[in-house]
Structure 1
Amino acid sequence: MRKGSIAFRLFWLSAGWLIVTLVATAFLLSELYSQALIRDLNETLEFHIATLAGRTFEAQSPSSDAIGIEDPRFSRPTSGWYWQIHDDQGRVVNFSTSLLGTVLTDLDTGFDTANTRSGVIEDTNGQRLQAVERLVTLADIGRFSIMVTGNLTDLDERTEAFREQAIIVLAVVGLILAAMSAMIARFALRQIERLREAVEAVREGDAPTVAGEFPQEIAPLAEEVNELLRSNTQIIERARSQVGNLAHGLKTPLAVLRNEADGDKSALGQTVMIETTNMSKIVATYLDRARLSARTSVVGKRADTAMVLDRLGRVMAKLHKEHDMGVSVAETTPWFRGDEADLEEMAGNLLENACKWARSAIRLSAAEIVRDGNRQVHIVVEDDGPGLSAEETEKVLRRGVRLDEKTPGSGLGLDIVKELVDVYGGDLTMAGSEMGGLKVELFLPAARSGRA
């Protein structure tokens, strides 16, 4: 079963982390930028306080009209940029033109060791202000305080504009990084695709083993696949050897029993003769099945479908000269992905059965067909015989029912065909033919390509 794509998962995992990281980065940079602006604003306000203190000292009076700041923002009403001077009694004795019609609230924090305090306040217009206040003591003037404010709304707007620009820039960077991540994932997983192609080459018969140089993370898997192939070959060879030994070990005792019972006309002799004959047939059947299973378990074999069918057609035409044998193989017919002897066994049994039942004509054809997205070899055998009813067709296709039980001399017949079709993962169907008899269709796996 296939479950998603590793590259797709890696892409979305990296993209998700990129989104979270870049969004957090945008807000972090915005916060750092805002703090930098506030520090810069505080330095500016402290500079203005020093300027006002110096001009107060020059004027020798905190209420002098000569005290002021040239910055035009302190002349524009409700600008948020204000200054005012309190005497030691807390009374406002001087203020900027911008403060006309506006009252500033007092800071609720205490003065530090430098006689300075700062904080955020609001004016009567609801504007947020950054305020810095300092206690100043001058000779011949006495003690007074100077407060200067700057408009935080401007800073908030600048911070918001910076955040929007940062998000746009980081979004572009994120897209670039996401594309790069996708390319890296594809490049890294390309090695797995190479391994898949190497395994497919073994299955298709293009190579005996998984060949190629792979990264250290994938190389052990390729080695295990090759070891599995080697082990599978050894098991098959041992099975073949054991099947041969069993065949030789059983044939001789059975032959001796049949020879002894052949001249014995008693009931016991006849029973022994019948049962040993049945035993020989059963042993032959299952030994042939074992050979088939062992032979078809070998990966990497393929056969030229057109050549095999043409050869079978010529042989059957010579053996059954009384029938018209027609063979039609399309040029696009793919090679069979399996053993050539197995293809001959399947097609040969079907042709033999057709020749037994046909009245005068048999047709053998082959072509390429695509089923469930897979290329397959489509072989059709038709005759003009009596055919089979639906009930007979269902019975014949049932496992364990052999065609040779109905027509003598066919050996394993259809049972062998069904065994081989099942081993190769193919399909076998029967239906009525346009010729009037039976139409048998074989669907077998196609090889990727023929021999070079």
Structure 2
Amino acid sequence: MSFGPKSLTARVLLLATLWSAAALVAIAVVISTLYRESADRGFQDLLRAQLYNVINSISIGENNTIAGNPALGDLRFAQPKSGWYWIVEPLGTFAAGPLVSSSLGLSNLAVPSVADVPFDTNYERFYVLDDGSGNKIQVAETEVVLDQEGRAARFRVSGNLAVVETDVRAFSNSLYLALAVFGVGSLIVNALAILYGLKPLDHARGALEKIRAGEAERLQGDFPREIQPLASEINALIDSNQRIVERARMQVGNLAHSLKTPIAVLLNEARLLEKQQGELVRNQAEVMQGQVQSYLNRARIAAQRDSVLSRTEAEPALERLLRVMRRLNGEKEFELTILPANLVFAMEQQDVEETVGNLLENAARFAEHRVKVSVAPAPADIRGGDPLRRFWLELVVEDDGPGLDADQIREAMKRGKRLDESKPGTGLGLSIVREITSEYQGLLDLSRGEQGGLKARLILPGVVKEVA
């Protein structure tokens, strides 16, 4: 399965991964924020409870002093510089001195004014400050009247916020680890689900490749409900294409049959005319015959060149042509090389035989002793710009004759042009080859070969047939 930038599977996997990652990050942030808010509320509730414990433990003693020994059940209120402190300060004309926890000692807290941090409706206020020992603490404060004489005191209880931070950090680490494991597991499950869900598309692609390779004529397979309409439309398109090709073949055959007899009559009648007139009529009739055949071929090729079912195996088709050439040219050697052996032309057999046959006739006409034919996959840089990314074959026909120079090659490619009038022929062979090759969007190139003769090189569409 391909995972390129245009791959549907890659796109779905990428989107699912991005969405899952974004969702997990959002969930982690939300849960972590909610837990922090809950931890802050719980910490304030703890300080409020300790504050009221201190209030319940304090009274006015003898000599107008504050008496009491709050037992908060937390050793941190006894540990110096721990950040856990309680303070009781008398208010107004109450002449008693303050009462503080042993953890605060002789230190003092820089308490903000009531104007900066006012009391709430419950006459409580909470604020955060630095205790001077490097601890960030939160303070809960209130004022309480201690007796009927109106003597009051201000109560403060503080707690070290490092406890909250440590708790939140531990929770966040556990949360992130759990979400990471869950996220990786979800991505794996999503990937498997996506791959499984898109598997029918792979089956459809494989079925199309079989059609393109000539191994099947229809899109076959049991497809899901969402893909079945596409498969049905493709099969309907193939059926329509076949009907168009058959209709074009029939029309071409009818036209060829209707013109064959008039042209044959003209050729026969030309023999009864005087030599000069008869030669003129015969030449023109032959040219007309060649042109009609050429245009019929072009019409037929245009109707079938895009058909996915036009396939001709290279080896048997070329072997048949070479057997004929060996019988007609017994004194010359014909050599065929096809690598790999399972190459197939994406062309009609008649077009392959006419194209290669014309090249073989030219090669046999001018060869001294040997004609070489080879077929191989075309180099990638030759048809690298093909937007359809089709597969191309390189067919080479080379002889050991005199060959042609560049000017002669240009003349030979002209329709009806014969460079050697001593040799039989109409001069239409290379032109027909060029036209058929062009109709299949291929290439024709003539040059001097390694044996010194003419080297005809064709780039034609093809496929590689799978070997069972």
Q: TM-score, normalised by structure 2?
A: 0.81
Look up the match of 1:326.
335
Look up the match of 1:385.
401
**Cα distance between partner residues in 2 of 1:112 and 1:62:** 29
Look up the match of 2:143.
135
- Specify every segment of 5 or more residues in structure 2 that has no aligned partner in the other structure, as ranges: 385-389
Look up the match of 1:422.
438
Look up the match of 1:215.
224
**Cα distance between partner residues in 1 of 2:249 and 2:402:** 40
**Cα distance between partner residues in 1 of 2:142 and 2:192:** 60
Q: 2:139 is aligned with what amino acid? A: A
Give the counterpart of 1:95 among 92, 100, 105.
Answer: 100
Look up the match of 2:34.
32
Q: Secondary structure at the match of 1:97?
A: coil
Q: Contact 2:136–2:162 (CA<8 Å) still a contact in 1?
A: yes
Q: 2:313 is aligned with what amino acid? A: D
**Cα distance between partner residues in 2 of 1:89 and 1:253:** 135
**Cα distance between partner residues in 1 of 2:269 and 2:330:** 41
Look up the match of 1:72.
75
Change (3 A) 1:83 1:177: same
Q: 1:428 is aligned with what amino acid? A: L
1:375-422 deviation line (CA, Å, top 9, x unaligned) = 6544332222111112333454x5x54566766425742223223333
Per the TM alignment, residue 369 of structure 1 is displaced from its structure 2 partner at its CA by 5.8
Q: 1:6 is aligned with what amino acid? A: L
- Is 1:118 the counterpart of 2:126? The answer is yes
Root-mean-square deviation (CA, aligned residues, Å) is 3.7
Per the TM alignment, residue 181 of structure 1 is displaced from its structure 2 partner at its CA by 3.6
**Cα distance between partner residues in 1 of 2:155 and 2:377:** 96
- Is 1:346 the counterpart of 2:351? The answer is no
Across the two proteins, how many residue pairs are aligned to each other? 449
Q: Secondary structure at the match of 2:47?
A: helix
**Cα distance between partner residues in 1 of 2:159 and 2:329:** 111
Q: 1:316 is aligned with what amino acid? A: M
Change (3 A) 1:189 1:36: same
Look up the match of 2:240.
231
1:288-333 deviation line (CA, Å, top 9, x unaligned) = 3323333544322433322222222221111112323334455735
Give the counterpart of 1:441 among 445, 451, 457.
Answer: 457
Look up the match of 1:43.
45
Per the TM alignment, residue 64 of structure 1 is displaced from its structure 2 partner at its CA by 1.4
Q: Secondary structure at the match of 2:98?
A: strand
Q: Contact 1:111–1:117 (CA<8 Å) still a contact in 2?
A: yes
Identity %: 35
Change (3 A) 1:177 1:141: farther
Q: 2:69 is aligned with what amino acid? A: A
Look up the match of 1:22.
24
Change (3 A) 1:263 1:65: same
Decide which moves more: 169-178 or 386-395: 169-178
Look up the match of 2:370.
361
Q: 1:17 is aligned with what amino acid? A: W
Q: 1:5 is aligned with what amino acid? A: S
Q: 1:166 is aligned with what amino acid? A: L
Decide which moves more: 83-92 or 146-155: 83-92
Q: 1:224 is aligned with what amino acid? A: E
Correspondence list, 1:400-415, <5 A: 401=415, 408-409=424-425, 412-415=428-431
**Cα distance between partner residues in 1 of 2:134 and 2:334:** 103
Per the TM alignment, residue 148 of structure 1 is displaced from its structure 2 partner at its CA by 0.9
Change (3 A) 1:412 1:187: farther
**Cα distance between partner residues in 2 of 1:327 and 1:34:** 82
Change (3 A) 1:394 1:221: farther
Q: 2:9 is aligned with what amino acid? A: A
Q: Secondary structure at the match of 1:86?
A: strand
Look up the match of 2:387.
none
Decide which moves more: 66-75 or 268-277: 268-277
**Cα distance between partner residues in 2 of 1:296 and 1:282:** 20
Q: Contact 1:122–1:129 (CA<8 Å) still a contact in 2?
A: yes
Decide which moves more: 387-396 or 147-156: 387-396
Change (3 A) 1:5 1:329: closer
Per the TM alignment, residue 209 of structure 1 is displaced from its structure 2 partner at its CA by 1.2
1:64-102 deviation line (CA, Å, top 9, x unaligned) = 153453422112233221111233428763121222312
Q: Secondary structure at the match of 2:69?
A: coil
- Specify every segment of 5 or more residues in structure 1 that has no aligned partner in the other structure, as ranges: none
Decide which moves more: 379-388 or 283-292: 283-292
Q: Contact 2:60–2:66 (CA<8 Å) still a contact in 1?
A: no
Change (3 A) 1:389 1:347: same
**Cα distance between partner residues in 2 of 1:366 and 1:27:** 65
Change (3 A) 1:361 1:299: same
Per the TM alignment, residue 360 of structure 1 is displaced from its structure 2 partner at its CA by 2.6
Q: Secondary structure at the match of 2:58?
A: helix
**Cα distance between partner residues in 2 of 1:320 and 1:210:** 46
Decide which moves more: 432-441 or 352-361: 432-441
**Cα distance between partner residues in 2 of 1:184 and 1:250:** 63
Decide which moves more: 181-190 or 205-214: 181-190
Q: Secondary structure at the match of 2:66?
A: coil
- Is 1:195 the counterpart of 2:200? The answer is no
Give the counterpart of 2:88 among 68, 85, 88.
Answer: 85
1:343-377 deviation line (CA, Å, top 9, x unaligned) = 22222221111111112322334455663597654
1:75-133 deviation line (CA, Å, top 9, x unaligned) = 22332211112334287631212223122414544444443333334434564322222
Look up the match of 1:308.
317
Change (3 A) 1:278 1:389: closer
Per the TM alignment, residue 424 of structure 1 is displaced from its structure 2 partner at its CA by 3.9
Q: Contact 2:60–2:67 (CA<8 Å) still a contact in 1?
A: no
Q: Secondary structure at the match of 1:335?
A: strand
Q: 1:94 is aligned with what amino acid? A: L
- Is 1:284 the counterpart of 2:293? The answer is yes
**Cα distance between partner residues in 2 of 1:301 and 1:444:** 13
Q: 2:87 is aligned with what amino acid? A: Q
